Structure 1
Amino acid sequence: MTENKKRPNPIDIHVGSRIRLRRNMIGMSQEKLGEQLGITFQQIQKYEKGTNRVGASRLQAIGGIMNVPVSYFFEDAPRDGAGGPEFGEPPAPSFETDFLSTTEGIQLFRSFTKITDPKVRRRVLDLIKVLAAEEE
């Protein structure tokens, strides 16, 4: 008898990763998001892993809480057939998602967005470019 475990759909995995990304960007815990939705943090974990599919009304509620349109959760989503990964194959994570899933990435994002002076922002960006070039 073969074991037939259903793998999460690549779109569900992508939507979940976008929920996690946005939640981390705004500094919200799984507990806080779950509380605002009236569900447990374990359910949020399942959504973020793609294990459980997020329904349309729930996704709209999440977007409202996180102040993003529903379309945000589908940005860069894999497409079946149209040059995207094969069905059942997990989507390749994007550089932005990988970067903003790290503690350093989140801290850098939050700190950089607090800088209001465009000249200072430009200097910070120039500094990062110089440091990155030194690494090569």
Structure 2
Amino acid sequence: MMPHKLQTKTPNAIDVHVGSRIRLQRTLKGMSQTTLAEGLGITFQQVQKYEKGTNRVGSSRLQAIANILVVPAAWFFEDGPVSPPTSQGPESGAGSEITEFLNSVEGLSLNRAFVAIQDDKVRRKVVDLVKTLAREASA
């Protein structure tokens, strides 16, 4: 008889990416996990598992999530891991950086505040300010 080994299943990279995109879109919409769960007829704990990539989201469930969050289902796969690995050029990491930024408290807060600015000139000045601050921080 073989000894039992505890096997911890690592989430698939695509499941983790799709889950992070669900979380990103849900938080951008200002929606709680509970609200999303109620719309899907599941528990908020199940939404948590989807967002962490612990549980895989089935295609019909992903379409339902897309409908509730008002995005195409394909959006959840954008900038995700590809299999087999391919060369995507110099921009390949940009999508994950944006997702990571928007998943942070500061990124989400900055994004919401920036979108609320109606004047294009003021928006450009904010971007110029942030670029200046970034240059000074790296100098």
Q: TM-score, normalised by structure 1?
A: 0.87
* Residue from 79, 84, 90 that aligns with 1:81: 84
* Aligned equivalents of 1:26, 1:134: Cα separation in 2: 33
> In structure 2, what is the equivalent of residue 69 of structure 1?
72
* Residue from 104, 107, 117 that aligns with 1:105: 107
Task: Indicate if the aligned counterparts of 2:22 and 2:76 stay in contact, CA closer than 8 A.
Answer: yes
> In structure 2, what is the equivalent of residue 15 of structure 1?
18
Aligned residues: 128
**How far did 1:94 drift?**
1.6
Alignment of 1:1-136 (within 5 A): 1=3, 2-83=5-86, 94-136=96-138
Whichever residue aligns with residue 123 of structure 1, its letter is: K
- The higher relative CO (CA closer than 8 Å, separation ≥ 6) is in 1
Larger Rg computed on CA atoms: 2
**How far did 1:39 drift?**
0.8
Task: Indicate if the aligned counterparts of 2:34 and 2:44 stay in contact, CA closer than 8 A.
Answer: yes
* Aligned equivalents of 1:132, 1:34: Cα separation in 2: 39
Identity %: 58
Q: Which runs of 5+ in 2 are unaligned?
A: 88-94
